Structure 1
């Protein structure tokens, strides 16, 4: 895709602007990036603080087949994000300290380095998808009770512009794989970069806390949780807590 990059010194939210543009008929391939974001947000309404020097970017897609695209998209973006970070690592040892957490958080030694928020909408007959990505490049924000990391801990820190363009290259690469070959190779690539099979984890919901071990992904991208009683259940939503 021929991406059109727009850069802003400060925005409340790159995704809010990207969605507004989508609603007015903007074509796919818009990438909005802010060097400072004052009202960034993550999943479930969480705020995403931006101390500056980090990545805040939102991408606009208009998929032909929404259902297939949305199934694969969290994992496409996660693998692309991992590969973009790995691109700047000087050694394989540094890369080995990166890991994906279901469905699309990027971790460094168990601490969150980057996250993704996917939002969808419909304008008359045209559906849109906006993917907001925040990545700590220079330094992590200070958020009480949260363990965060930055790419600068294992690599020379790229500028947000350079990282954003490498990330979009990786996104294009993996979207092409999904369009050509479906979800299976995306699933395989995600599993190769994620917490290993058998890893102890818990699923925390609003009123539930279920412990077990990671047993892979099903064909719809749902996390498979092996319970202590031998049963395996699919997980659609919830916070993943790695032990």
Structure 2
């Protein structure tokens, strides 16, 4: 689904229908009809006698470009709704889209998290996917996810990270999740699609948290901050210790008694270390150090 051209012209400041019509090469009536259609689809467009604008803080192209000017933002595709921003961006990647292509959706009908789980994506949250084309060995790929987790924690400004990349609110509820999907050809990384889902209000019946309860910040601000924080870490992916240090600065996992449900079974013990390849090291009650490359962590004994 290609967004309407008006999504690239609207901003947070009011613009008259006449000005927008001139830019788009259409009539004022056509602009009015397009705005009505966009609002019906779910875009946060504000109309007044003076003209049209985005709702303040909407994660739309112009508001984002004004807040972030770096190389990780090539072009923004802003959708009222998507099945999954991951799938939309993957199709663009296959068609040759460059690094920095960003897909943002107001809502997702088939959002997903790690290991195929669904991710509730009602309107009002922040859901986006970023296309990356890094030149990395396969062993270094987990650092992308760790760097993104650290950047997301910095951008949100609250909570901390549960391995591998869940952002938890101060009360331990899930605030955001991160999903990285890679397209590989042998030892070559063709591209990565990095997806983030961040709740601003707790989704109904999810048990999750919402950022609005902890910080007064807009979705555009958080997304721009994420790009600003991720950019320098992405540029230093060859420096494993720099990435690990950034992740550890927001760590809520190491030193805790944990139960990790991994593909190979359940591991219980103390989360002892994080290795350069993203592996979590758990020391079991028998004193054995077990390396876990992927899995779901639970706290033994509860959050506190």
TM-score, normalised to structure 1, is 0.87
Give the secondary structure class of the aligned counterpart of 1:194: coil
Offset of residue 173 of structure 1:
2.3
- Do residues 170 (structure 1) and 229 (structure 2) align? yes
Q: 2:199: which partner in 1?
A: 136
Q: Which moved more, 1:164-173 or 1:122-131?
A: 122-131
Q: Counterparts in 2 of 1:29-48, with a 5 A limit?
A: 29-48=100-119
The structure number with the bigger radius of gyration is 2
| 1:161-183 superposed Cα distances (whole Å, 9 cap, x missing partner) | 3322221111112212325xx11
The answer to whether structure 1 residue 117 and structure 2 residue 174 are counterparts is no
Evaluate the alpha carbon distance shift between residue 223 and residue 45 of structure 1 in structure 2; reply closer, same or farther with a 3 A threshold: same
Preserved contact between residue 182 and residue 189 of structure 2 (Cα < 8 Å): no
2:85 aligned residue (5, 10, 14): 14
Is the contact between residue 218 and residue 224 of structure 1 (CA under 8 Å) also seen in structure 2? yes
Report the CA distance between 1:206 and its aligned residue.
5.9
Distance in 2 between residues matched to 1:123 and 1:236, nearest whole Å: 21
Q: Does 1:104 align with 2:135?
A: no
The answer as to 2:140 corresponding to 1:81 is no
* TM-score normalised to structure 2 length: 0.70
Q: Secondary structure at the match of 2:269?
A: strand
Q: Unaligned regions of 5+ residues in structure 1, if any?
A: 87-94
Is the 2:108–2:121 contact (alpha carbons within 8 Å) kept by the matching residues of 1?
yes
How far apart are 1:36 and its partner, in Å? 1.2
Identify if the C-alpha distance between structure 1 residues 105 and 26 changes in structure 2 by more than 3 Å, giving closer, same or farther.
same
CA contact (8 A) 1:63 1:69 kept: no
Moved more, 233-242 or 122-131: 122-131
Give the Cα–Cα distance (whole angstroms) in 2 for the partners of residues 235 and 215 of structure 1: 11
Question: 2: CA distance between counterparts of 1:120 and 1:196?
Answer: 25
SS of 2:99's partner is coil
Are 2:272 and 1:212 aligned? Answer: no
More strand by share: 1
Residue 89 of structure 1 corresponds to none
* More RCO (CA 8 Å, sep 6+): 1
Q: CA deviation at 1:79?
A: 0.1
Question: Aligned partners of 2:195 and 2:108: how far apart in 1?
Answer: 12
Instruction: Name structure 2 gaps, 5 residues minimum.
Output: 1-70
